[in-house]
Amino acid sequence: MDATLSNVAENMLFLGRATLAHAIDMLTFHNSAARYNRVEQRDSIAVLTAAHAAEILVKSRIAQEHPLLIFKEIPKRSRASENSLTLSQLMEDGRTLMFSELPDRLWAVSGYDLPSQETYQSFGKLRNTIQHFGRPDRNLTDETIKFIFTVIQPFLWEHWNLLAIEHFDDPDGHEYVLEFVSKFPVNVQLRESWRRYAERLNSEELDRLIFISDESCSTLRQFHSW
């Protein structure tokens, strides 16, 4: 295998996490809306970004087994170099798997069944609708939060001991992010040391929080400080 392919999985993991952080930021920090990200558009952008994050993260896990496994078509030998297939040749002539095809490939290479596959596939269709036809009359924030915490969260934990709720860019945003996410009917995994940020939550919201010892979680720094 060409040396340029050796870091594919690691690079995709970092990019996927950065993209997930952007999706959470788009939903949570409305007051930071920029010129081209008005409040009424941010939930649509969050759908696109969350779906993209999931796609990159799943491909990262597949690429851990071998980078070529994220491709459905690779260049024919006659179009590749004599010694090895290169990254530039893959980018020119290869075709990666589509969003809808990833769960089956993930299962085939790792034995892991992506959770809530119906939610995964329907969210992919929602992404395509927004991307090609415009914003549908649906609660996009609800659907994106559900997707992140029923599909992406268990996947991140299973493979890297990472927590979805830790992915955001504001260095002081812990309490705000937790308060925002806890309003939705999803279970949220978070570190035990985050318990202090839950003081203002009501009993119903607290019941949806799953506290995990800090020692069990990945020791990677908070996302904004990477």
- As given in the structure block, the two tokens for residue 84 are 């090895």
Q: In terms of Cα–Cα distance, which of 116, 20, 11, 2 is closest to 63?
A: 11
Per-residue pLDDT at 172? 87
> Residue 21: in which H helix or E strand, if any?
helix 8-28
Q: Are 25 and 168 in contact (CB under 8 A)?
A: yes
- By CB atoms closer than 10 A (0-12, 13-18, 19+), residue 146 is middle
Tokens 């996410």: give the residue.
181
Residue 89: partners with Cβ closer than 8 Å, 6 or more residues away = 75, 79, 80, 81
DSSP state of 177: H
Whole-angstrom CA distances from 4 to 23, 30, 213 are 29, 39, 37
Antiparallel, parallel or unpaired: β 188-191 and 209-212: parallel
**With a cut of 70, which residues of the chain have pLDDT below it?**
1-4, 30-40, 75-83, 86-88, 91-94, 220-226
Per-residue pLDDT at 152? 98
Say how far residue 192 (Cα) sits from the centre of its chain. 22
Tokens 């570190």: give the residue.
191
Per-residue pLDDT at 72? 85
pTM of the model: 0.89
Q: How many alpha carbons lie under 13 Å from residue 202 in its C-beta half-sphere? A: 4
Three-class secondary structure of residue 72 per DSSP: strand
Per-residue pLDDT at 35? 47
